[in-house]
Structure 1
Amino acid sequence: MKKYLFTAILFVLSLSFFANAQDEMVIKGSKKLDKQYTPQQVVDSLNKRFPNAKSVQYFETKADAANKGWAVSEEDNLSSDADVNYYTISFKNEGLKYYGLYDKDGKLLQSKVEEKITSLPNPVVMALKDVAHKYPGYKVVSKTYFKDQNYSKSKEYYEVVAKKGNDTKRLYYSPDGTLIKTKG
C-alpha cells in the first residue's frame, strides 16, 4: 500500500512540475544566464528604461537567431558560445510581461510586450474577425497578444495565436489591421 501511495504522490508532483515548465516562455536561440554574466551596459539600459522591473531573467542570444528573426517561443535549450553579441531580458513591469533584445553595448533593438487581447487596436480587432474566413476551422484562442517593436526599422506589429485542433498559426498584423505574415 505504501508503494502505491508513494507512486501516486510522485506522479502528481511530476505532473505539477511538467505543467509549470510548459507555462514558461523562452527566447528562441537563447540560453538563460545569471545577471553577473550579463554585460553591465545591458543591465544599466534595462534599469534606466524600466527602473521598476520585476522577475528579471537574462539570456544570451546567438547572432544567427537574432538575425533570422528574434522570437519568443516555448522551445530551445542551447549551449553557450564564446562570442555572444546579443542579450535578451525577460521581466514584468506594471502588470505586463516584457521581452527585450539588446546588443552587447546595451542598445535595445527589439521588444515584445504581452498584453490583454481586449487592448488591441480596433483595426486589428476588425481584421481578426476575418480569421475563420481566411483560415477555415481556425479560431483566435489567445487571451493575450504580443505587441512587437523593431527599433532599428521603426516597425510595430501585433502577434496573435489561432488554433484548429492541434494546429497553431501565429498571425502578425500591422497597427492598421493588415495581415503581414502567418507562421505555422
Structure 2
Amino acid sequence: MAVLPIRITGDPVLHTPAEPVTSFDEELRTLVADMYDTMAAAPGVGLAGPQVGVPLRLFVFDWTDEEGERHRGEAINPVLWISPAPIAEADEDEDSEGCLSIPGERFPLLRSERALLRATDLEGRDYEIEAEGWLARIFQHEYDHLNGVLYADRLEYPYARTLAKTIKKRSWGGPGQKWMPGVDDLEG
C-alpha cells in the first residue's frame, strides 16, 4: 500500500468534526491499509482519518501491551463512552502523550482510565471493546480527532503555553501543512 502525508496542527481538517463513513467499498479498504502503513512508518499507535486529510469518522490502532497482547483494528463510525477522568495533576511520565499531527512533542494529559468503544470494522461488523489504561487513552485520543479536537486543546497551563510557543516557533498552525513519515524529520 502507501504511506500518506500527515496533516499538522492548524490544518482545518484537523479542527472540524468528521463525517460518517457511508460506503464500505474498495476505496475505504485502500484508505485503511494506507493508514496502517502510515501509522507504522510514523511510528504511532493510532491514526485518524482527518490526520491524513480525510474528513471521515474512522481511525486505526495498533499497540502491544505489557503482557505482549496485540490490540489492532479499525474503528469506523465509532462511539466512545469513558469513565470520569481522575481529579489530579497529570504526571509528566505516566500521563505523557504525543500526537502525529504535532510531531516530536509530548506533554502530560489526564485521560479517563476506562473506555468502551463501539464501532464497525471493514467487513461491516459491529464490535465492542472494553479498554483500560493505555488502550483507553489511545481510543480517547483518536476519537477526539474525529470531533476536531487535538490533545493540545485539552492541555492545561503551563503545558498549553509551552506548546503554543513551539507551534509558533515552528511556523505551524496554518492550512496545508503536513509531513511525510519516513522522509521528513520533524522530531524536536
Q: Which has the higher contact order (CA 8 A, sep 6+)?
A: 2
* TM more than 0.5: no
Look at both structures and tell me which one has the larger radius of gyration over its CA atoms: 1
Higher strand share: 1
TM value normalised by structure 1 = 0.27
TM-score, normalised by the number of residues in structure 2: 0.27
